[in-house]
Structure 1
Amino acid sequence: MTLRIRGIFEPTTITGGDTPDPEHPYFKVGGTVSTPDWSQWRIEVSEPKHTYWLNQYPSVGHRIYKEDFEATITVAAGSTVVVRVTDGNDRQIDNGKIAPDRQQIIAGVVDQPLPGQMLRL
Structure 2
Amino acid sequence: MKRRLILALSVCALFSASSHAADDLKKIATELDGYRFEFPCRDPMPENPKPGADGISARMTNDPATNDKFTDVKKFGGEAGKRYKVTLRVRGVVEPMMYKDGQQVGERFYIGGAPNNATYNIYKLSVSAPASHFFFNRDDKVGHRIFTIDYTATIEIEGGATLTFHGDGQNGHMITNFSKLVVPEIAPAPQPYNGQFIQLNVLSVEEVK
TM-score by length of 2: 0.52
**Once the 2 structures are TM-superposed, how far is the Cα of residue 83 of structure 1 from its aligned partner?**
2.0
Taking the TM superposition and a 5 Å limit, the aligned residue runs for 1:1-121 are 1-20=86-105, 24-95=106-177, 97=178, 102-109=179-186, 110-121=189-200
RMSD: 1.0
- Tell me, yes or no, if the aligned pair for 1:6 and 1:106 is still in contact at 8 Å: yes
State the SS of the aligned residue for 1:117: strand
State the SS of the aligned residue for 1:113: coil
Q: List runs of 5+ in structure 2 lacking aligned partners.
A: 1-85, 201-209
Q: Deviations over 1:70-105 (max 9, x none)?
A: 10011111101122210211111111x3xxxx2110
| Paired letter, 1:120 | Q
Between Structure 1 and Structure 2, which shows a larger proportion of helix residues? Answer: 2
Task: After the TM superposition, list the runs of 4 or more consecutive aligned residues in structure 1 that deviate by more than 3 angstroms.
Answer: none
Larger Rg: 2
**Once the 2 structures are TM-superposed, how far is the Cα of residue 36 of structure 1 from its aligned partner?**
2.0
- Report the number of matched residues: 113
- Tell me, yes or no, if the aligned pair for 1:37 and 1:87 is still in contact at 8 Å: yes
Q: Counterparts of 1:105 and 1:88 in 2: how far apart (Å)?
A: 25
Q: List runs of 5+ in structure 1 lacking aligned partners.
A: none
Q: Counterparts of 2:176 and 2:153 in 1: how far apart (Å)?
A: 26
